[in-house]
Amino acid sequence: MIALTIAQLAHAVSGEAFLAGDDTPDTVVSGAVDTDSRLIAAGGIFVAKPGEATDGHLFVDAAVAAGAAVAIVERRVVASITQIVVEDAVAALADLARAVVKTVRDAGDLRVVGITGSNGKTTTKNLLARILEGEGETVAPKASFNNEVGAPLTMLRVTATTRFLVSEFGASAPGAIARLAGLVDPDVGVVLMVGMAHAGGFGGIEGTFHAKSELVKALRPGGVAVLNADDARVAAMAPIAGEHGASVRWFGRGPEAEVRADDVVVTASGTSFTVTADGESVPLRLKVLGEHHVMNALAAIAAATTLGVSLADAVARLETVEIAERWRMQPLGSDRVRIINDAYNASPDSMAAALRTLAQITAPEERTVAVLGAMSELGEYSEEEHDRVGLLAVRLGIQRIVVVGDGARRMYLEAVAQGSWDNEAVFFSTADEAFDYLQGELRDGDRVLVKSSNSAGLRFLGDRLGESFS
């Protein structure tokens, strides 16, 4: 974090400072901010956030032992550290992020990009960060730090020399993106797609549309909305951008997109295509598995070129990316048995994309195996969408369908109903049972997809399979 005095810090979070030791209101703090006492380093700022399972106030002493300089708390605790008391620790975290980003922006040349969408946020964030790092100091979220805690923690990593801040905005309810994006007023806002992910929290697909459009409304005057021309709901955000003083830059596969992909070829080692942007065309070999990542790459290129990066530089930097992130279309295993671990997150759209990728990259002499778990946060749409996945797996000709967990059972039942009667589809209640089965079932030439929502925990099953068949 940038250097602030304790007085400035207290003012930013509307709190009251209670000094300890030799501290004065003019004492300067500049350490990293975190809500996890285990991650605090010397000089850090610990935010004692109450949680569902525990309470951060119980860990102030641990933060002190780790070297914290200040604790932001909702009530004073007995600890030898300067404490700033606030009404709401999470709100204080957001207020501090807003103040720090504004200070850096006012003093320098910081540009802010916000990314949202039902799928692809984390991959696009990582691709864009790789491009922008070649231009100057870039701050981007770790993993999927995109909620009311993770997004501000990312923002607080900016320094006086940061040129680019890439923020990922997720949402489980209306208004969440507006609040997060409102902390930084992005220069560029990327909307990837409007799909069924988290639809249960928005009351359906139209609610998701309104939630994702909050990023477009939050752009600063003169900002640019980078929109998916191939998604009708995202394209419908263009008038909203105009109403809020922003221009639009289109990406997609169709000829109307300003940044588009042609001649797409999908293989087991990546995807090749030609990128055209503003009349210039450059070939790109993307090592990240899956044709669906073409759109994520286009979105990253569209945002980067909006910020002044040349198309050639953007493409060259994307070609250095080996995987999107751990547990996201991550190749494991060996050439004998290839495991694709994509079990960090799942929605109906990403599940379909992963299954299609499995079918695309498997040679005729090889066998497709899909290990599937539940998709979360679908609300009333859950049963219908799990049925659709089972149906799609059969229609794509997936040769072994292994469904894991009671929450995903309908995938198995639908696969059986659609014709997987001769043990092509099997069901296990636990990942351990599935692992034991797969140990004896998998053979040379198998291509195995492991896909589920994070809460289903199949990413660890994917890791075990990867190690077992390495």
Q: Cβ distance 297 to 270 under 8 Å? A: no
Taking 50 as the pLDDT cut, the residues of the chain under it are none
Q: How far is CA 139 from CA 132, 268, 310, 453, in A?
A: 9, 31, 20, 27
Among 3.40.225.10, 3.30.70.120, 3.20.20.30, 3.40.1190.10, what is the CATH number of 108-318? 3.40.1190.10
Spatial CA neighbour of 129 closest among 190, 82, 68, 172: 190
**pLDDT at site 173:** 80
For the chain, give every residue range classified as CATH 3.90.190.20: 330-468
Helices marked H in 108-254 — which ranges?
Answer: 121-133, 150-155, 176-181, 199-202, 205-217, 232-235, 238-243
Q: Answer yes or no: is 122 a known binding residue.
A: yes
CA-to-CA distance for 429 and 424, rounded, in angstroms?
17
**pLDDT at site 324:** 81
Q: Answer yes or no: is 142 a known binding residue.
A: no
CA-to-CA distance for 450 and 342, rounded, in angstroms?
6
Indicate the class that CATH gives domain 330-468. alpha beta
Q: Answer yes or no: is 208 a known binding residue.
A: no
The contacts of residue 130 (CB under 8 Å, 6+ apart) are: 317, 318, 320, 321
**pLDDT at site 207:** 87
Q: Answer yes or no: is 118 a known binding residue.
A: yes
Q: Answer yes or no: is 320 a known binding residue.
A: no
- Per residue in 370-407, pLDDT (tens digit) is 999 999 988 888 999 999 999 999 999 999 999 999 99
The amino acid at residue 353 is: A
Q: Answer yes or no: is 125 a known binding residue.
A: no
| Per-residue tokens: 411 | 């995938």
Spatial CA neighbour of 115 closest among 163, 175, 184, 161: 184
CA-to-CA distance for 36 and 289, rounded, in angstroms?
33
pTM of the model: 0.89
The amino acid at residue 222 is: G
For the chain, give every residue range classified as CATH 3.40.1190.10: 108-318
Q: Answer yes or no: is 423 a known binding residue.
A: no
Q: Reduce the DSSP state of residue 89 to 3 states and report it.
A: helix
**pLDDT at site 200:** 55
Q: How far is CA 115 from CA 124, 195, 214, in A?
A: 8, 15, 11
CATH superfamily of 4-89: MurE/MurF, N-terminal domain (3.40.1390.10)
For the chain, give every residue range classified as CATH 3.40.1390.10: 4-89
